Structure 1
Amino acid sequence: MPQPRSSQISLSDTPYYHCISNCVRRSFLCGVDKYSGQSFEHRREWVEKRMLFLSSVFAIDICAYAVMSNHVHMVLHVDVKRTQVWSDNNVAQRWHRLHRGTLLTQMFVRGDTINQGQQQTLDNTITEYRRRLHDISWFMRNLNEHIAREANKEDDCRGRFWEGRFKSQALLDDAALLSCMAYVDLNPIRAKIADTPETSKYTGIQKRLESIKQPSIKNVLMPFVGNPRQDMPKGIPFSLKDYCELVDITGRVIRDDKAGHIDQQQQAILQRLGLSDEQWLTLTTEFEKHFCYAAGAEQMMNQFKEHTGHQRIRGMGKAKTLLRCA
């Protein structure tokens, strides 16, 4: 039985979540239908463009993503504090970029006079919009419904395009976050549709590498901000250079289909994560296999279980062995 979303998301434990949406139709989200020979490759751009647009509207950052032939991976960061400093007008305008809103919110944005009785209703509506703008479920709804409508229109058909619900996994510590990001970024290489990270189209790693090679291209993903320190800016607490090199080396191991060793120069970042070479390789190739609703060290998993009301969570055994030192 599907778990309620409240039992999968606990912002008091972590702002980071791995979300997966699977396509339900044989015709695939993207790629080439081997039965009809029709190509749906252009839909990858639909998905990428829409998710990046939504990130500019919501207080939700994208850390990593991969648009595959019949599913989409995203690692998201929820920034609740950002919504708290937005003005009421800013909140309403952001929501109107996605939905029509109400007659009152339209009047408010236009600057029309609103009486005292209407103001209370408006305040309640703005409060709800502010909550939705940091809600992963609303983010995914605005992504999946838009793509489903466009695909159904193109296919001249009706019915479900996606499976009933998206899957989410809480990433409870740095080791879980970084290994899940690498797992997502390396999906095309694991599926043998790309040879290197820079040729992995419609992935976060390719988008980051493009912004490095061409500084004129703005980085729209959550930035890497280096090692933890005082006055730490918002971002992923590792070096982008370390991460890109680690993904590249891990990708070579995966492509060779053998459990090789991470280059010695990368040991610093793995030591900071508390992971061995073997643990890292298992995490970056089998992340979904071992973890369900959450991933992290045993203590973090137990806290998440308590806060979300789970009696048990699959993956506790692997948390002890794969992330025991994190």
Structure 2
Amino acid sequence: MPQSRKSQISLIATPYYHCVSRCVRRSFLCGQDIITGQSYEHRRGWVEKRLLFLSSVFSIDIAAYAVMSNHTHVVLHVDKKQAQSWSMNEVLECWHRLHKGTLISQKYINGDKLSESELLTLYETVDVYRQRLYSISWFMRNLNEYIAREANKEDECTGRFWEGRFKSQALLDESAVLACMAYVDLNPIRAKISSAPETSNHTSIKKRIQTLLKGRQPRNLMRFVGNHRHNMPKGIAYSLVDYCELVDCTGRCIREDKTGHIDSHQHPILERLGINTEQWLTLTTEFEKHFSTAVGSENMMQQYKRCTQHQRIRGMGKAKALFKKA
């Protein structure tokens, strides 16, 4: 039986989530339909552009993404604290970039004078909008509905384009976040549609490598901020260079089928994560196979189970095996 989204997403447990959306039947998001020969490759750009736009509107950061032929992967970080710090004007400006809002919210943005009762109504509306602006469900809704409308318009048809709901996995610790990011970034290599991370079109790893070569980090992706230290800034607590090197050597292992071998030694990031090379390769090739609603160490999985009041969570045994100290 499908679980409610509320029972899967708990910001108390973690702000990081891996979301996957798949097309229904033979619908093609991108790539080429081998039966008709029609190419949908241009739609990859639609998804990537929309994703990066939404990250500038919502209080949700994108840590990784990959646009595949009939599904998309995205690793999201919810910044509830930022959304709660926004002023009423900031909330309305963000929301109106996506939706028309109400007549009252439009009047306020236009500078028209509001009555006392209209102001009270507006305050309630802003509270609703604020919650939606850090909601993963609303983020994915604004991504998937937009792409579905554009695809149906192009195909001159109506009806469902995506499966009923997107799949989400809670990433409960740093190991799970890094492993999931690498799993997502390496999707094109596992699917044999790309031979290297830097040539994997419409992925976060390609965007990161391109800007890294210019000495920068992508503006619309969550930043790597280096190792843990005092007054830690917001971001992923590892070096971007280390991460790109790790994804590259992992990708070569996948292509060459050299199980358990990464550059003939344990990579520094894996040492800090407490994961050995065999565990890492299993995670980055079979991440969705072994876990359902949550991913992390056995201890973190137990905490998530209590927090979300689940009876049981699939993947507890794999969590114990794959996230133990190397």
Residue 292 of structure 2 corresponds to 292
Q: Distance in 2 between matches of 1:174 and 1:215?
A: 25
Alignment map for 1:85-234 (pairs within 5 Å):
85-215=85-215, 218-234=218-234
AA partner of residue 179 (structure 2): S
Total equivalences in the alignment: 326
Once superposed, which parts of structure 1, at least 4 consecutive aligned residues long, lie more than 4 Å away?
Answer: 215-218
Residue ranges of structure 1 left out of the alignment (5+ in a row): none
Go from structure 1 to structure 2 and tell me whether the alpha carbon gap of 1:217 and 1:185 turns closer, same or farther (over 3 Å shift): closer
Q: Residues 27-51 of structure 1, C-alpha deviation per residue, up to 9 Å, x if partnerless?
A: 4110001111110000000000001
How many angstroms apart in 2 are the aligned matches of 1:286 and 1:193? 18
Task: Provide the TM-score with structure 2 as the length reference.
Answer: 0.98
Q: Could you tell me how far 1:309 is from its partner in structure 2?
A: 1.4
- The SS at the match of 1:75 is strand
Letter in 2 for 1:90: E
Alpha-carbon offset, residue 267 of structure 1: 2.9
Contact 2:208–2:217 (Cα < 8 Å) also in 1: no
Tell me the equivalent position of 2:53.
53
Aligned alpha-carbon RMSD (Å): 1.3
CA distance in 2 between counterparts of 1:215 and 1:258 reads: 32
Residue of structure 2 in register with 1:68 after alignment: 68
- What CA distance in whole angstroms lies between the structure 2 residues aligned with 1:56 and 1:244? 24
Q: Give, as a single letter, the amino acid of the residue that structure 2 aligns with 1:199.
A: T
Give the equivalent residue in structure 1 for 2:317.
Answer: 317
Please give the secondary structure, in 2, of the residue aligned with 1:39: coil
The alignment partner of 2:233 has SS state of coil
- For the residue of structure 1 that corresponds to 2:92, the secondary structure is helix
Query: Cα offset for 1:96?
Result: 0.5
Amino acid at match of 1:244: C
Residues 309 and 216 of structure 1, relative CA distance in 2, 3 Å threshold: closer
Q: In structure 1, give the amino acid aligned to 2:238.
A: F
Q: What is the rounded CA distance, in whole Å, between the counterparts of 2:109 and 2:55 in structure 1? A: 22
Is the Cα–Cα contact under 8 Å of residues 64 and 205 in structure 1 kept in the other structure? yes
SS in 2 for 1:20: strand
Any gaps of 5 or more consecutive residues in structure 2?
none
Where do 1:262-273 residues align within 5 Å?
262-263=262-263, 266-273=266-273
Corresponding letter in the other structure for 1:192: K
8 A contact 1:242–1:266 mirrored in 2: no
TM-score by length of 1: 0.98
Distance in 2 between the 1:148 and 1:303 partners?
37
What's the offset of the Cα at 1:265?
Answer: 5.9
Provide the C-alpha distance between the structure 1 equivalents of 2:219 and 2:255, rounded to a whole number of angstroms: 28
Task: Look up the match of 1:246.
Answer: 246
